[in-house]
A = this chain, B = another copy of it.
Amino acid sequence: MKSIGVFDSGVGGLTVVKELIRQLPTENIVYFGDTARVPYGIKSRETVIRFSIENILFLLKQDVKLICVACNTVSSFALPVIKNHFRVPIVGVLSPGVREAVYATRSGRIGLIGTKGTIKSKAYEKEIKQLSPKAKVTAAACPLFVPFVEEGWLSGDVVASVAKTYLKPLKDAKVDTLILGCTHYPLLKPLIRKVMGPDVILIDSAKQVAMEVKDILSREDLLNKSGRGKHKFFVSDNPEWFSGLAQRFLGKPLKDVRRVNNA
């Protein structure tokens, strides 16, 4: 039985895996986290493309029927380039989030937060404008959010203060919808909601991504209809660190994380 392949620079993609398991409990999943070269968000387009191709080649060896890029930096920087190189369907986290945001906004003022790489790529803006040419996008890079999440600082005065600084331009622009454009950010949702106020809709693309994966597998008649899926986790470094963080992202601990020399 072929698997769904998922990769990310590190642990963030587990927020997507969580949703895939929920929506597709009968599917096998193979995850690869490039923890030897994490993070990608501060790296150049060329480098992110090179790393992504290496990750995809690893997943293809694991006999996957679809690849889910569970990383916004890769989806923004690399996906348009690499998608055409491979025969396997490749799903990113960008388009599902964009569709949801365009659907949700009433004022047309959409906010976007992400890593430096994601924001710099302007990939979200382009895709939003294609679907909704009148939309006004305000974007802000939040580079300290990833280290905060990975260190477990999810609440408290310090993170709140950083969040207020980062989110100020979005509040000033009066966005009514905010795309959490990084797979780490859903863990900061309570805090972001507090800063942005209860009326701003927060778009966390994991749910939408899993729905798109389901759609494609169904359309191509690749769904696995019975049994209980198996989940395998590979990393390029630090399996213990990854296992430790998994609880926070996946909502359950991971025991069998294997290290591979991919990076």
Residues 123-159 of A contacting B (Cβ, < 8 Å) = 143-144, 147-148, 150-151, 153, 157-158
Please tell me if the beta carbons of B148 and A42 are within 8 angstroms of each other in the complex: no
Please tell me if the beta carbons of A238 and B44 are within 8 angstroms of each other in the complex: yes
User: Across the two chains, which residue of chain B brings its CB closest to A38?
Assistant: B42
Alpha-carbon gap, A237 to B49, bound state (A): 12
Question: How many chain A residues touch B (Cβ–Cβ < 8 Å)?
Answer: 26
Q: A143-B151, A157-B161, A158-B161 are in contact. Are A43 and B36 (CB under 8 A)?
A: yes
Alpha-carbon gap, A37 to B50, bound state (A): 12
Residues 41-73 of A contacting B (Cβ, < 8 Å) = 42-44, 46-47
Please tell me if the beta carbons of A42 and B238 are within 8 angstroms of each other in the complex: yes
A35 within 8 A of B: yes
B residues in contact with A43, CB < 8 Å: 35-36, 237-238
Please tell me if the beta carbons of A158 and B147 are within 8 angstroms of each other in the complex: no
Please tell me if the beta carbons of A44 and B237 are within 8 angstroms of each other in the complex: yes
Alpha-carbon gap, A150 to B237, bound state (A): 23
Alpha-carbon gap, A38 to B44, bound state (A): 12
Task: List 10 other contacts, CB 8 Å, given A36-B43, A157-B161, A161-B161.
Answer: A36-B37, A38-B42, A43-B237, A43-B238, A46-B237, A47-B237, A144-B148, A144-B151, A158-B158, A158-B162
Task: Give me the interface of A with B, judged by CB distance under 8 Å.
Answer: 35-38, 42-44, 46-47, 143-144, 147-148, 150-151, 153, 157-158, 161-162, 165, 236-238, 241, 263
Alpha-carbon gap, A263 to B38, bound state (A): 13
B residues in contact with A263, CB < 8 Å: 37
B residues in contact with A47, CB < 8 Å: 36, 236-238
Q: How far is the CB of A132 from chain B (nearest CB, A)?
A: 32
Q: How far is the CB of A45 from chain B (nearest CB, A)?
A: 10
Closest 4 CB pairs of A and B: A147-B147, A47-B237, A158-B161, A37-B37
B residues in contact with A157, CB < 8 Å: 161
Q: How far is the CB of A192 from chain B (nearest CB, A)?
A: 17
Complex partner residue of A144 from B44, B147, B241, CB under 8 angstroms: B147
User: Across the two chains, which residue of chain B brings its CB closest to A43?
Assistant: B237
B residues in contact with A158, CB < 8 Å: 158, 161-162, 165
B residues in contact with A36, CB < 8 Å: 37, 43, 47
B residues in contact with A150, CB < 8 Å: 42
Alpha-carbon gap, A157 to B143, bound state (A): 18
Q: How far is the CB of A44 from chain B (nearest CB, A)?
A: 5
Alpha-carbon gap, A161 to B160, bound state (A): 12
